Amino acid sequence: MLALGIEGTAHTVGVGIVDEGCRVLANVYDMVKPEKGGIHPREAANHHAEAVVPLIRKAADVAGVDLAEIDLVAFSQGPGLGPCLRTVATAARALALSLRRPIVGVNHCVAHLEIGRGVTEAKDPVLLYVSGGNTQVIAFARGRYRVFGETLDIGIGNMLDKFARECGLPFPGGPILEKRAQDGSKLLRLPYSVKGMDVAFSGMLTAALALRKHGASIDDLAYSIQEVAFAMLTEVTERAMAHLDNEEVLLGGGVARNARLQEMVGRMAVDRGAQMFVPPGDLCIDNGAMIAWTGLQMHRGGVRMSMAETIVDQRFRTDEVRVTWR
Ligand code: ATP
Ligand code: FE2
């Protein structure tokens, strides 16, 4: 069985093709890079509308399959930016109708976790999902993926990107700050905001920008932001693992590519006798392959959707999904 998945919740539109063994046959994408400022939902949607058909063709080429061989069409149903979600859903419906194949809408956050289970040895991990818009600690319990902790304000990636932007660095800021942090050495005082299982980052952003105004170097600030923010994330992840008696931690989302975050979570895992899993970078960021793979499993788990049920949901919660496939 072959599934084609289309991702488009935010600035990335991606198309992936996977088989029933979670072999990724194609995973192509294109990302909006705003010239200045943040992303505008409608501009991103226009970008996705132009890019999606060529990407579908490209994915078929890369996979070496004819679109007629696709058995299932999956798409990101939410959460995300309304105009982007609607654009991608429209493309998915058109493709499913023209190929006469079933269609399934996939929860984006669940897909980050499922692709990690699919391509690593992790079986029932606690997922630390760290991206631009999302920061959540998720695990499977009683038939659903439950959110054990999350950000109370902005996502970790948004915080990194905003800080970088205010410092005149291009988007996305996360990877640039990771490099700059290697030249930083002074640990500056930043708020450590952990509230139970939740975290908050906007206070750190404000404090870092204030320090920058008073002359602190970008390198030292990048270093300090990473040390403090990643320590917060490691703490809540460890607490979830302890409560759940779970010995696997999986990283997902674009920020999971950060080597320092991997080092800190990895050290915590070793200290507890647990194991950390990190999918390849192209499967950490928003991508079509994770949507295809999750859609395929949902289909195998008996999920069927009418066209009317493919309506998008900007605030689609992780724990709204009944997990029938495991
Ligand atoms: P979502 O829709 O799931 O909220 P997203 O649209 O932000 O996610 P992702 O591709 O998962 O998309 O993540 C992008 C984020 O990851 C950006 O904020 C970017 O700065 C950050 N990022 C990417 N690489 C790194 C890195 N090496 N270190 C830190 N942050 C990184
Ligand atoms: Fe994501």
Mean pLDDT over 64-73 rounds to 98
Cβ 14 under 6 angstroms from ligand 1: no
The secondary structure of 22-45, three-state, reads CCEEEEEEEECCCCCCCCCHHHHH
Atom of ligand 1 nearest to the CA of 134: 4
Mean pLDDT over 245-251 rounds to 97
Mean pLDDT over 17-25 rounds to 98
Closest Cα to atom 18, ligand 1: which residue?
Answer: 157
Mean pLDDT over 82-107 rounds to 98
Type of residue found at 172: P
State residue 305's pLDDT score: 98
Quote the mean pLDDT of the chain: 97
Mean pLDDT over 124-134 rounds to 95
pLDDT > 90 in the chain, percent: 97
State residue 26's pLDDT score: 98
Other C-beta atoms closer than 10 Å to the C-beta of 167 total 17
Using 50, 70 and 90 to split pLDDT, how confident is the model at 34?
confident
pLDDT > 70 in the chain, percent: 99
Q: Is 20 exposed, middle or buried (0-12, 13-18, 19+ CB in 10 A)?
A: middle
Q: Cα of 213 to ligand 2 centre, how many Å?
A: 32
pLDDT tops 80 at residue 37: no
Closest Cα to atom 20, ligand 1: which residue?
Answer: 174
State residue 42's pLDDT score: 94
Report pTM: 0.95
